């Protein structure tokens, strides 16, 4: 098998991870993933993680095995594992997006589209909605599409 895409969700053990611990996690993951040719995106919403990993199937499987054993995660659930051609999340070896830290427009966009509870953007249950959230998050990380979508046209109407 060549390259694959793996998506999983989990709950943060103890319901909280400090910003310092997140920074260390991301820094170490960038180094490890670069060495293994793995790319991906990690979303944090409240105490919920959603991550997509892309790269060589053997390397991604080994990484997922370590994640399942990582005491920082509870209720790890494999959402999807599939062979891929082109990668969608190859911009970063690891990128963390804490949905709570988003500015007003993207937070409102995601909350409207996916729902929210207790201030956290809801992580959808169905695969196509999960993939949609990951692609929306990717767009948010790469630019500010809500500004173009909400910008008034010449007559002052939203485009």
The per-residue pLDDT for 22 is: 84
Q: Which residues lie closer than 8 Å to 108 by C-beta, 6 or more apart?
A: none
Q: Tokens for 35?
A: 């060495």
Which DSSP letter does residue 126 get? S
pTM over 0.75: yes
The per-residue pLDDT for 84 is: 95
The label of the residue with tokens 């988003």 reads: 102
The burial of 55, by beta-carbon neighbours within 10 Å (0-12 exposed, 13-18 middle, 19 or more buried), is given as buried
DSSP H or E run through 74:
strand 73-83
Question: Whole-angstrom Cα distance, residue 76 to residue 73?
Answer: 7
pLDDT block averages, 10 residues each, the chain of length 159 = 93 81 88 94 93 97 94 93 93 89 92 92 95 94 53 39
133-151 burial, b if ≥16 CB within 10 A, otherwise e?
Answer: bbebbbebeeeeebeeeee
What domains sit in the chain, N to C, each tagged with a CATH number?
A: 3-150 (3.30.70.100)
The per-residue pLDDT for 143 is: 66
The per-residue pLDDT for 58 is: 97
Q: Which of 151, 145, 159, 73 is nearest to 110 (CA)?
A: 145
The label of the residue with tokens 């910008």 reads: 151
Evaluated on CA atoms 148, 153, 158, 159, the torsion sign reads negative
């Amino acid at each position: 098998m060549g390259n694959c895409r793996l998506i999983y969700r989990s709950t943060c053990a103890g319901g909280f991870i400090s910003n310092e611990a997140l920074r260390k996690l991301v820094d170490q993951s960038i180094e490890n993933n670069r060495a293994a040719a793995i790319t991906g995106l990690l979303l944090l919403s409240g105490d919920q993680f959603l991550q997509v990993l892309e790269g060589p199937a053997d390397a991604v499987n080994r990484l997922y095995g370590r994640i399942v054993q990582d005491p920082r995660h509870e209720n790890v659930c494999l959402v999807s594992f599939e062979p891929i051609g082109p990668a969608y999340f190859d911009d970063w070896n690891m990128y963390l997006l804490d949905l709570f830290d988003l500015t007003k427009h993207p937070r409102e966009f995601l909350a409207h589209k996916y729902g929210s509870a207790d201030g956290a953007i809801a992580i959808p249950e169905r695969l196509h909605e999960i993939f949609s959230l990951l692609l929306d998050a990717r767009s948010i990380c790469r630019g500010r599409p809500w500004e173009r979508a909400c910008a008034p046209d010449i007559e002052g109407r939203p485009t």
